[in-house]
Structure 1
């Protein structure tokens, strides 16, 4: 968390409660993270309206000046590259104008408060609170507009679900998580396709909710922008419940790993960001670096096992990344889908490597809020009918609704989106302040 020169009363009370129990410490910090923008406001000077960080305000003014210059150039000489850049930063220029207009309105109201006209003073007092609130809201909007867009934000995505620690019970809950996302997508109207659904070779037993022992599943969400909507779901999902095989009624803890990878419907051609034939693309893989193996499909026997070698396993030798695909009886289809998943995994690894390098060059403040895939991000507690997200700090009750992909799951996902946005703003401020500091040292 960013340290602030002062803390509001409600936050101070939350901080006092942190020391009462070490078990509640992590959740208390996460709950405070729901309001990081308020802490960012504490760092701002009065020179930046709306409580905006001075570093971000200067950045916004620089970009707005660039937009004005580009707009003037386009009036006399249209250029596609210039028009594209102007369009990319237009929302920042617009958000800054709205903020400055609100600041001008606030200054007028403050001037009216010093007027000799009692009626004008009363009118100014009536509008002052609403204008102040609008100013803070516009400051936040500008911060969000300044935050760099995720490189895969507009793409469809692949949700990979695998059991974590917990043995068979973890496999049962993996099936629950897979169905949860299927139902959520259906409720939201997202188009999906099951790329892979592989159960383990077991005795055919079912979980407490009738789940299968899932080994691995891949669900493609085909709508553009799905990656942005689901990227906060990546991580370890923990479940606490009494397994169907438990005789003494003890609660067991298991976990399920969820990966969110970018997907692309097709190759958009030379020069495109998702052109997997372009060596500069994150999705490019040299075929010479991939080992291909064919095998017979595994299964429970009978018609589930192919008589031909239609299953495919691809191994990216430099990274050791392996993808197996056997859902289709066609080797050609399995090969195509395996390559698609492999490209998505490698692209995500390359993006994460760049981000890790960038984080290592920034202030240590960033590492304090960074969540990795190894951390538990959410807990599903059956006995307490509760689901808790450990990043946003949100608790929801009515667990069946969560597992049915209903409104409660939507609230959790939305809360994580807010947490991700605030974390991105925090990272942007840290980066901009580092740039400003380096610039002063250079002078």
Structure 2
């Protein structure tokens, strides 16, 4: 590990020198590439240098204690330095292992979130709206931007389905663990007997991809236009602005009717299609990786029940890591950090265990 860290530090210094070169600064593409690499290496190098400082303090204290001849007060101070440096070395070492884990290349990408009501009819559609609100409020707390791509609302104020993008630094890294089946247990307003009903909602989190990352042959697309329907504005049913794209090789269908403009709807539908096709590639790769690990938190399996929201008990339980929080209202108001941090920590521990033989 430390040989790798030394090489990383050397590369970091090399980049610093290149970034000071006017010819590099004037080359926009090269400059952007180096800045991106510099940003990635900075936390690793800073932590490595912190480790090296504690290592030096530890060696100095160890040498003074071995030489002996220290008066009582000074010896106590050196012993304290010895102990605290040792603890700091162990902490930095663990943090460095995490920083050196292979980075998910999608972590810095924006995301497309798709929410669909599952079992439970109107109640599931209402909870789909609750989840949309939860993710929107979480995005707002992170100063990320959200944009609805397609929505199919119900008369009661729910969503049969809704797709929206979230743009911001680290969006995918924080939201990728949300894919799967979300279960809600609550008493519907229409239930006169006060019985708790169970409904499900499916969430898919897709990294947003550029054209170059997914090659789509125009001949593989069937594009249909139709009149928008549902609880829209005055333009609904007046013009054929809604778009339906069918990807013929797999039969995958994407629809978008949120915009008045047919062109904008097509652009949004293509954005969703690219992300879904990219997700299929990722799933194939993840299947290979997951077979080497006991549990993979972020597989994104849409059929996997990942979380239960229990209203009577004000409880949220994430079944993948066995975490239960009694703060349902806060979570539904976008306070997702405690859940997300726990999932990230668990995922890192799994990866460290899988790579244990390298350290």
Question: For residues 188 and 62 of structure 1, do their structure 2 counterparts lie closer, same or farther at Cα, with a shift above 3 Å needed?
Answer: closer
The TM-score with structure 1 as length reference comes to 0.68
Residue 413 (structure 1) aligns with: 340
Say if 1:164 and 1:170, in contact at 8 Å, map to a contact too: yes
Q: CA deviation at 1:325?
A: 0.9
Match of 2:108 among 149, 154, 158: 154
Matches within 5 A, 1:273-284: 274=210, 276=211, 281-284=212-215
Q: CA deviation at 1:86?
A: 6.8
Match of 1:218 among 163, 166, 176: 163
SS at match of 1:395: strand
Larger strand share, 1 or 2? 2
Deviations 1:147-195 (A, max 9, x none): 2322222222222111223333222211111111222223433222222
Say if 2:311 and 2:328, in contact at 8 Å, map to a contact too: yes
Aligned residues: 348
Aligned-residue RMSD, C-alpha: 3.4
Q: CA deviation at 1:66?
A: 5.8
1:60 partnered with 2:5: yes
Say if 2:245 and 2:253, in contact at 8 Å, map to a contact too: yes
Q: CA deviation at 1:199?
A: 2.0
Q: CA deviation at 1:321?
A: 2.3
Match of 2:317 among 380, 388, 411: 388
Match of 1:231 among 151, 176, 186: 176
1:286 partnered with 2:217: yes
Q: Give the Cα separation in 2 of the matches to 1:219 and 1:401.
A: 22
Q: Give the Cα separation in 2 of the matches to 1:396 and 1:304.
A: 44
Q: Give the Cα separation in 2 of the matches to 1:387 and 1:97.
A: 40
Residue 378 (structure 1) aligns with: 307
Residue 176 (structure 1) aligns with: 130
SS at match of 1:102: helix
1:109 partnered with 2:44: no
Residue 295 (structure 2) aligns with: 368
Match of 2:287 among 356, 366, 384: 356
Residue 201 (structure 2) aligns with: 256
Q: Give the Cα separation in 2 of the matches to 1:58 and 1:305.
A: 63
Deviations 1:343-399 (A, max 9, x none): 122122223323434555xxx3x2334453232222211111112233454433232
SS at match of 1:334: helix
Q: CA deviation at 1:323?
A: 0.7
SS at match of 2:164: strand
The TM-score with structure 2 as length reference comes to 0.82
Match of 1:242 among 187, 195, 199: 187
Q: Which consecutive residues of structure 1, in runs of 5 or more, have no partner in the other structure?
A: 1-55, 207-211, 265-273, 437-443
